[in-house]
Amino acid sequence: MAKVLPPPILVVRTQRPARRWRLAFAVVALWLASLAGAMALQHWLVGVGEQFSAHAAQKDRDALLQKVAIAQRAEQVARAANVDLQQSLRDRQEEIAGLRADLAFYSRLTDGRSKPEGLAVHGVRLIAAATSGVYNFTVTLTQTLKSGQIASGRVKVSVDGVRAGRLATLAWPDLAPNQDVAGVPFSFKYFQQVAGTVMLPAGFSPNRIHVEADAGGDMGRADQDFAWSDALGNQESADVQP
């Protein structure tokens, strides 16, 4: 006899739409949260990248500034060295010119073919001082008349020029009011440089300087005129005073 299966049991359940909506809302919320997290992560990565780029750019900028500073310093050192070199060359040229002048002077002084002479004004040199109108002068005196004899006396200068549109001469007392009116003393056997200072008044334009030396006796006196510009440019010097 065939076995008959019992009829199926049907279960009727009530639908719950609220639960379905809650599930859908949870899925959507989870998706939005993941999207927000992804955007936040992307923003953080961008910020980190920008910070890294800014740091690298600042580092490159600092390195470049350091190189520029080193180059500028090197240029300053080279420029200073060039200025020192140029000044050294000028000093050496002036020294050579002075030595040549000394050599010419000594050659003329010791030339046996030259006629012996008494007191003579060999030259004058002017150097402008820091104060306007003040000049330091150096007069070179010689004598070859009597070997070994002392020539002693005084030397003074005067200056010809223009003042207020007219020719004018400034005597020694006008040029050196605080110095001995008799002049600057000298005493030598063969040659000597006699130094002094003159002060020109404001508005006076010098053209010529007159040097007068007086030793008296057999040495006599000597005087000579020199152009002011030549005296300013004269580099002759002799520091030894026998």
pLDDT along the chain (242 residues), means of 10: 61 59 71 75 71 75 84 83 82 65 57 64 92 93 75 94 94 92 90 92 95 85 92 58 41
Question: Which CATH number, 1.20.120, 1.10.287, 2.60.120, 2.60.40, labels domain 116-233?
Answer: 2.60.40
Q: Model pTM?
A: 0.52
C-alpha to C-alpha distance for 218 and 71, rounded to whole angstroms: 71
The set of residues, in sequence order, having a beta carbon less than 8 Å from that of 134 and lying 6+ positions away, is 128, 197, 198, 199, 200
Quote the pLDDT of residue 29: 74
Encode the chain in three state secondary structure: CCCCCCCCCCCCCCCCHHHHHHHHHHHHHHHHHHHHHHHHHHHHHHHHHHHHHHHHHHHHHHHHHHHHHHHHHHHHHHHHHHHHHHHHHHHHHHHHHHHHHHHHHHHHHHCCCCCCCCCEEEEEEEEECCCCCEEEEEEEEECCCCCCCCEEEEEEEEEEEEECCEEEEECHHHHCCCCCCCCEEEEECCEEEEEEEEECCCCEEEEEEEEEEEEECCCEEEEEEEEHHHHHHCCCCCCCCC
Instruction: Give Rg (Cα) of the chain.
Output: 51
Quote the pLDDT of residue 112: 52
Quote the pLDDT of residue 98: 54
Enumerate the domain spans of the chain: 20-114, 116-233
Quote the pLDDT of residue 197: 94
Which amino acid belongs to residue 216?
G
135: nearest Cα among 44, 201, 48, 37: 201
Neighbours of 224 (CB within 10 A): 15
Q: Tokens 């060999």 — which residue?
A: 122
Q: Tokens 């334009």 — which residue?
A: 205
Quote the pLDDT of residue 6: 67
Quote the pLDDT of residue 240: 38
